[in-house]
Amino acid sequence: MLDFTIPQGAAGTSGAPVELLSAYSTQPQAGTGSTPLEFDRNALSYGTDIAHADNSTDITISQPGVYSLAFSGSFAPGSGASFPLNVGTAPQLNGTEIAGAASQNTFTDANDVASQSFSVPFTVTTAPATLQIVSTGDSFVYSNILATVSRLGDIPS
């Protein structure tokens, strides 16, 4: 008969707390020029590092770190649009475009509808920081927009 024991390991940690914000807007809204998109409500919010007020264009990040942004939405020509109509979206952190994330569509007809989306990791080195999704183009309509921001962790040294 074998008699052996298995030593118990050290207690594990429960992991880092989740920091996440999901803001959205379903109603059609008019856009023109270099306009930040307005999110009228929050779907989900965990933690205090990422905040958004209803009916605002700004997502505020209050803790330096590495973050992830996922964006999607529907875009269409607005009333009186001239064709071809180029409409793009890109994220900006403190007014500077985040590299590696942008979406664009060229509309050729008033009945066109296009989905735009992107996903990108980014760093926040100084807080607080303001994140916005900024559109370009003249006379367009956007709806069903969603932005989800997650904190991935500290900036590696």
pTM over 0.75: yes
- Is 2 part of any domain? no
> Tokens in use for 136?
């370009």
- Is 12 part of any domain? no
Residue 53 domain boundaries: 20-153
**pLDDT-derived band at 157, boundaries 50, 70, 90:** confident
- Is 91 part of any domain? yes
CATH number for the domain spanning 129: value is 2.60.120.40
Mean of pLDDT over the chain? 93
Give the three-class secondary structure for 17.
coil
CA distance 51 to 132: 12
- Is 129 part of any domain? yes
**The total number of structural domains that make up the chain:** 1
At position 138, the amino acid (one-letter code) is D
Which of the residue ranges 14-18, 112-116, 134-138 would you say has the lowest mean pLDDT?
14-18
- Is 4 part of any domain? no
- Is 1 part of any domain? no
CA distance 153 to 73: 27
